[in-house]
Amino acid sequence: MKLETVIYYPTDDYAAALKQFRAAEIDIQLRLDSQQIDWIRANMPETIDPIPQLTVEYVLVNHKRPPFNDVRVRAAINNVLNREVIANKIRRVGDPPAYNIVPPGTANFPGGNSLDFSSIPYQHGMIGVIHDGSGDRNRFSIFP
Protein backbone atom coordinates (compact mmCIF):
# COMPACT_ATOMS: atom_id res chain seq x y z
CA MET A 1 0.00 0.00 0.00
CA LYS A 2 1.24 3.45 -0.83
CA LEU A 3 -0.06 6.63 0.75
CA GLU A 4 -0.60 9.41 -1.72
CA THR A 5 -0.95 12.16 0.87
CA VAL A 6 -0.40 12.57 4.60
CA ILE A 7 -1.95 15.55 6.32
CA TYR A 8 -0.61 16.34 9.77
CA TYR A 9 -2.68 18.42 12.19
CA PRO A 10 -0.57 19.45 15.19
CA THR A 11 -2.64 20.21 18.26
CA ASP A 12 -2.25 20.78 21.95
CA ASP A 13 -6.03 20.71 22.47
CA TYR A 14 -6.48 17.02 23.22
CA ALA A 15 -10.23 17.36 23.86
CA ALA A 16 -10.74 18.85 20.38
CA ALA A 17 -8.54 16.13 18.89
CA LEU A 18 -10.71 13.47 20.56
CA LYS A 19 -13.80 15.02 18.97
CA GLN A 20 -12.06 15.00 15.58
CA PHE A 21 -11.02 11.37 16.10
CA ARG A 22 -14.56 10.32 17.02
CA ALA A 23 -15.90 12.12 13.93
CA ALA A 24 -13.31 10.30 11.75
CA GLU A 25 -11.75 13.64 10.80
CA ILE A 26 -8.35 12.35 11.94
CA ASP A 27 -7.05 8.79 12.01
CA ILE A 28 -4.64 8.92 14.93
CA GLN A 29 -4.06 10.99 18.05
CA LEU A 30 -1.02 10.22 20.17
CA ARG A 31 -1.87 12.30 23.24
CA LEU A 32 -5.02 11.69 25.29
CA ASP A 33 -7.21 14.16 27.12
CA SER A 34 -6.64 13.27 30.78
CA GLN A 35 -10.00 14.77 31.77
CA GLN A 36 -11.78 12.31 29.49
CA ILE A 37 -9.61 9.25 30.08
CA ASP A 38 -12.32 7.42 32.07
CA TRP A 39 -14.81 7.93 29.22
CA ILE A 40 -12.25 6.80 26.64
CA ARG A 41 -11.45 3.65 28.65
CA ALA A 42 -15.17 2.84 29.05
CA ASN A 43 -16.30 3.64 25.50
CA MET A 44 -13.28 3.33 23.24
CA PRO A 45 -10.81 1.01 24.99
CA GLU A 46 -9.54 -0.36 21.68
CA THR A 47 -8.18 3.08 20.79
CA ILE A 48 -5.81 3.18 23.75
CA ASP A 49 -2.46 1.76 22.76
CA PRO A 50 0.13 3.44 24.95
CA ILE A 51 3.53 3.63 23.35
CA PRO A 52 6.63 5.27 24.77
CA GLN A 53 7.06 8.81 23.52
CA LEU A 54 9.92 11.23 23.82
CA THR A 55 7.86 13.90 25.59
CA VAL A 56 7.83 15.60 28.95
CA GLU A 57 5.12 17.90 30.26
CA TYR A 58 6.06 20.42 32.89
CA VAL A 59 4.71 23.34 34.90
CA LEU A 60 6.02 26.81 34.20
CA VAL A 61 6.03 29.60 36.75
CA ASN A 62 6.79 33.28 36.27
CA HIS A 63 10.24 33.30 37.86
CA LYS A 64 10.41 37.09 37.69
CA ARG A 65 7.66 37.55 40.30
CA PRO A 66 7.97 36.87 44.02
CA PRO A 67 8.16 34.37 45.56
CA PHE A 68 9.21 32.45 42.43
CA ASN A 69 12.10 34.80 41.72
CA ASP A 70 13.96 33.03 44.55
CA VAL A 71 15.62 29.89 43.20
CA ARG A 72 15.34 28.33 46.68
CA VAL A 73 11.53 28.60 46.53
CA ARG A 74 11.47 26.95 43.11
CA ALA A 75 13.79 24.19 44.35
CA ALA A 76 11.65 23.63 47.46
CA ILE A 77 8.47 23.35 45.36
CA ASN A 78 10.27 21.01 42.98
CA ASN A 79 11.30 18.84 45.93
CA VAL A 80 7.77 18.42 47.30
CA LEU A 81 5.82 17.82 44.09
CA ASN A 82 4.41 14.31 44.16
CA ARG A 83 5.07 13.21 40.61
CA GLU A 84 3.52 9.77 41.16
CA VAL A 85 0.18 11.35 42.11
CA ILE A 86 0.34 13.73 39.15
CA ALA A 87 1.09 10.89 36.70
CA ASN A 88 -1.09 8.14 38.17
CA LYS A 89 -4.03 9.89 39.83
CA ILE A 90 -4.42 13.22 38.05
CA ARG A 91 -3.31 12.65 34.46
CA ARG A 92 -3.93 8.86 34.45
CA VAL A 93 -3.02 8.38 30.79
CA GLY A 94 -0.05 6.06 31.32
CA ASP A 95 2.78 8.58 31.46
CA PRO A 96 5.61 7.67 33.84
CA PRO A 97 6.40 10.21 36.59
CA ALA A 98 8.99 12.68 35.30
CA TYR A 99 12.07 13.26 37.41
CA ASN A 100 14.07 14.90 34.65
CA ILE A 101 13.70 16.59 31.27
CA VAL A 102 15.10 13.65 29.30
CA PRO A 103 12.76 10.62 29.53
CA PRO A 104 14.25 7.32 30.74
CA GLY A 105 15.56 5.00 28.05
CA THR A 106 16.39 7.77 25.59
CA ALA A 107 18.83 6.52 22.94
CA ASN A 108 22.37 7.87 23.09
CA PHE A 109 21.78 9.20 26.59
CA PRO A 110 23.20 6.32 28.66
CA GLY A 111 22.35 6.38 32.32
CA GLY A 112 20.06 9.34 31.76
CA ASN A 113 20.03 12.11 34.28
CA SER A 114 18.26 12.41 37.58
CA LEU A 115 17.54 15.06 40.11
CA ASP A 116 19.08 14.82 43.55
CA PHE A 117 15.71 14.33 45.25
CA SER A 118 14.33 11.60 42.97
CA SER A 119 15.30 8.81 45.37
CA ILE A 120 13.72 10.51 48.43
CA PRO A 121 10.32 8.94 49.18
CA TYR A 122 7.43 11.41 49.12
CA GLN A 123 5.67 12.04 52.44
CA HIS A 124 2.20 13.58 52.60
CA GLY A 125 2.31 17.04 54.14
CA MET A 126 5.99 17.63 53.38
CA ILE A 127 7.22 21.06 54.33
CA GLY A 128 9.51 23.05 52.08
CA VAL A 129 12.41 24.62 53.95
CA ILE A 130 14.42 27.54 52.66
CA HIS A 131 17.75 28.37 54.25
CA ASP A 132 18.80 31.98 53.91
CA GLY A 133 22.41 31.31 54.82
CA SER A 134 22.19 33.04 58.20
CA GLY A 135 20.98 29.96 60.01
CA ASP A 136 17.38 31.17 59.94
CA ARG A 137 14.95 28.90 58.16
CA ASN A 138 11.75 30.02 56.52
CA ARG A 139 9.23 27.21 56.39
CA PHE A 140 6.21 27.03 54.19
CA SER A 141 3.71 24.30 53.52
CA ILE A 142 3.18 23.30 49.92
CA PHE A 143 0.55 20.61 50.41
CA PRO A 144 -0.63 20.52 54.04
pLDDT at 124 over 60: no
Mean pLDDT, residues 114-134 taken together: 56
Start-to-end CA span in the chain (Å): 58
Residue 42 and residue 100: Cα distance in Å, rounded?
32
Spell out a b/e string for 104-131, using b for 16 or more CB atoms within 10 Å of the CB, else e. eeeeeeeeeeeeeeeeeeeeeebebebe
Helices marked H in the chain: 14-22, 37-43, 71-80, 83-85
Q: What are the extents of the domains in the chain?
A: 1-49, 71-141
Q: Note the pLDDT of residue 72.
A: 79
Tell me the pLDDT tens digit for each residue of 63-122: 899 888 888 788 777 777 888 888 888 888 877 887 777 777 777 877 666 666 666 666
Its pTM surpasses 0.75: no
